[in-house]
A and B are shown apart, each in its own frame.
Chain A
Amino acid sequence: MDTKPDINIDRSIGDFHYDVDYEFDAGTGLTEKTIDYICDVKQDPDWIRDFRKEALRKFNSMPMPTHWASPDLENIVFDNIRYYLSQGTQPKRSWDDVPEDVKRTFERLGIPEQERKFLAGVEAQFDSEAAYSNIKAAVGEQGVIFVGSTEGLQKHPEIFKKWFGKVIPTGDNKFSALNSAVFSGGSFIYIPPGVKVKHPLQAYFRINAENFGQFERTLIIADEGSEVMYMEGCTAPKFETSTLHSAVVELVALKGAKIQYITVQNWSSNVFNLVTKRGLAHEEAEIKWIDCNIGSRLTMKYPGVIMKGRKARGEVISIALAGDGQHQDTGAKMVHAADETTSNIVSKSISIGNGRATYRGLVQVGRHLKGCKNNTECDALLINTESRTDTYPAITVRGKENACQHEASVSKISAEQIFYMQQRGISEGAAMSLAVNGFVNDLVQQFPMEYSVELKRLIDLEMEGSVG
């Protein structure tokens, strides 16, 4: 009996695409004209048009960060990318109204089904715009806003403008500047004071077109004492040419609010995934990033929390899996800017074959502060000898009354260990899955059930796929 599933079929559930007629197409390349086109289609207010153009100037003036990051970044040809593709800017509230060619993609990915089962709201983005966006009536009645960024900007300008671009400045890095210039899609969420959203809000980001760049922009504001869990999933089909995904996500947790932001991404191996994510935690607020990076050609992502108010808490839990030919360059950024703030970073990376995982951590505690604590734990699992892993922790703690703790470990699964497991009847792919799942198990348990099951399945598929 052969227990290996048919890996050719199930290698990556997202590896398919349909031909779609786009009503709006900004063409390839990026100039001021591209921006004017996007603004016109989206009917952006003038301040956004100016914001975008200023961002484009910053983007053009900033060098590629190859002095510290991967030289592979040089292989992105910005002139060959399409920056805006959509079938219209107004998302549908019912799946019945979503155009057939788009709907079948999301049905194939199981989104409407998940929505029925366990979600409080769903937004489904197809290339540049949300095709579908809806929340359960009961959640909407509590005053919760969950719409695409375009709609958020148009219908809720007072909240949008107050926080947009405030957590991550345009010029934070070259890719946040790029996103600020051409952003489209992403979620806008506002949770009123004291409202605790029981079920997760889910966004799904789908790239369908070749030579395309997806630049969603998400802004979540949790007002005082509120709670929300947001999850995003991402996939793209495997094309010959590379695809760019460059998002900016800003979170604001006001006094005593709690935000949990969960990402499970399974990009195909030609996607450059260069994302900036940061949260601002006010007094006694809590922001937790749970980030699973599977797939992509190069991922660069360092979710951060700025703990601005006393007793604020930041947490980053990350799992990165670098298969053959992939580079996961991930980490966390914790900025302690008030007394008694605490942060926790747990990073687990797995490198397989030629896969490469890099951890970059930054922890800053100001000199004048008291009672701040950081805990950083950084574990790497190397499956077979070609894999490499690098750790670059940078911890700046000033002042004596603060405590930082940093632990790192590297474990290896060699061919000899795989052989041992195979001798017990476990296939090579299953043996690798077993090792990887064992390694990340304590983190996966922090996921809502449906997601831990999904993550385990993704790991199994990835391991089966990496067997030569």
Chain B
Amino acid sequence: MSLKIENLTANIGDREILKGLSLEIPKGQVHAIMGKNGSGKSTLAKILAGHPDYEVKGGTATMDGLDLFAMEEPDERSRAGLFVAFQYPMEIPGVTIANFIRAALQARLPEGEELDAVEYYEHLYRQMDALKIDRKFTSRAVNEGFSGGEKKRCEVLQMAMLNPVYAVLDETDSGLDIDALKIVSDGVNAMRSTERGFLVITHYQRLLDYIVPDVVHVMVDGRIVLSGDKTLAHKLEAEGYDWVEKQQPALA
């Protein structure tokens, strides 16, 4: 059981961004991806989610054996258990957080079944309290006018509410203050389980002190070129990416 990506190539327009990427996250594990700006990390997250602007040219992605790319609509993939916390979460004017998450949960119920409103709010408040998000946020429009850190916390709140099987967190640590980083990491750690896998995209080793990964991957130019344990993140933090690229003369 895993989230498995094999030899994935993908374009935006005529430009190839992912160039044969392979990666497997077994259920129960946390993997981290680090890599330079523009190497294709967010592209990977969006392609998994089914973003309409990207075109998959080759390769496969499966979630516990389920073909992700056979599910055309992003909402199908979500309901199948995939969650992406975005690097730049969208603002949705007019739609409150409470209504938004409620609609997302409602969409997971069989036709004709209604979400119990009281239970829903209890659940929502519990998760908000854990993430130290003020309850007043329930009536604010999704991400509208949120600070950078508030947006990221709201992404984690949605993840906690939707209870995915595999979650991709794209730079969820960026924009968080020191306390928030701890709170959000605690939130993620609380969700770690043998029944769930995480892919954590980050630029900073610091996050990985809180959310300790099983494997760290390095992405260069649309490919995973190196994988190792958590000490790899320390080495990258100390030495940068030059040495990785030098080890990969074929890519130069």
Where the two chains meet, the residues of A that have a C-beta atom closer than 8 Å to any C-beta of B are 1-3, 381, 411, 413, 415-417, 419-428, 430-431, 434-435, 438-439, 441
Contact = CB atoms under 8 A, between A and B. Distances in A.
Given A419-B74, A425-B75, 5 more contacts: A424-B162, A425-B108, A434-B100, A438-B93, A438-B95
Contact of A420 (B86, B93, B141): B86
B107 A430 contact: yes
22 contacts: A3-B111, A381-B93, A411-B93, A419-B74, A419-B90, A420-B92, A422-B74, A423-B49, A423-B74, A424-B158, A426-B104, A427-B73, A428-B73, A428-B75, A430-B103, A434-B95, A434-B100, A434-B103, A435-B93, A435-B95, A438-B93, A438-B94
B227 to A, nearest CB: 27
Nearest to B161: A424
A185 B199 CA distance: 66
User: 8 tightest CB-CB pairs across the interface, nearest first?
Assistant: A438-B94, A422-B74, A420-B90, A425-B78, A424-B104, A438-B95, A439-B94, A422-B75
Contact of A424 (B76, B78, B111): B78
Contacts of A424: 75, 78, 100-101, 103-104, 158, 162
Interface of B: 49-52, 73-79, 83-84, 86, 89-96, 99-101, 103-104, 107-108, 110-111, 141, 158, 162
Contacts of A441: 94
Contact of A422 (B73, B91, B108): B73
Contacts of A422: 50, 73-75, 78
A278 to B, nearest CB: 31
Contacts of B73: 422, 427-428
Contact of A425 (B79, B86, B89, B91): B79
A438 B49 contact: no
Nearest to A433: B103
A417 B92 contact: yes
A421 B101 CA distance: 10
Contacts of A413: 92-93
Nearest to A411: B93
Contacts of A411: 93-94
Contacts of A431: 75
Tell me whether chain B's interface is mostly helix, strand or loop, or mixed: mixed
Given A426-B103, A428-B73, A430-B103, A421 B92 contact: yes
Contacts of B49: 419, 423
A421 B93 contact: no
A2 B162 CA distance: 17
Contacts, number: 91
Contacts of B52: 415, 419
A427 B107 CA distance: 8
B90 A2 contact: no
Contact of B104 (A381, A425, A438): A425
Contacts of B111: 3
A427 B72 CA distance: 11
Contacts of B101: 424
A411 B141 CA distance: 13
Contacts of B107: 3, 425-427, 430
A423 B92 contact: no
Nearest to B86: A420
Contacts of A428: 73, 75
Contacts of B84: 423
A109 B89 CA distance: 42
A1 B75 contact: no
B73 to A, nearest CB: 6
Contacts of B83: 423
A438 B86 contact: no
A416 B95 CA distance: 15
A3 B89 CA distance: 24
B162 A425 contact: yes
Nearest to A439: B94
A416 B141 CA distance: 16
B137 to A, nearest CB: 15
A426 B101 CA distance: 9
Contacts of A417: 90-92
B94 A421 contact: no
Contacts of B89: 420
Contact of B100 (A381, A421, A427, A439): A421
Given A3-B107, A438-B95, A423 B76 contact: no
Q: Which of A3, A425, A434, A439 has the most CB of B within 10 A?
A: A425
A439 B84 CA distance: 26
A24 to B, nearest CB: 46
A381 B51 CA distance: 23
B103 to A, nearest CB: 5
A431 B86 CA distance: 18
Given A415-B52, A420-B92, A2 B78 contact: no
A419 B100 CA distance: 13
A185 B125 CA distance: 55
Contact of A435 (B94, B108, B110, B162): B94
A436 to B, nearest CB: 8
A420 B103 CA distance: 13
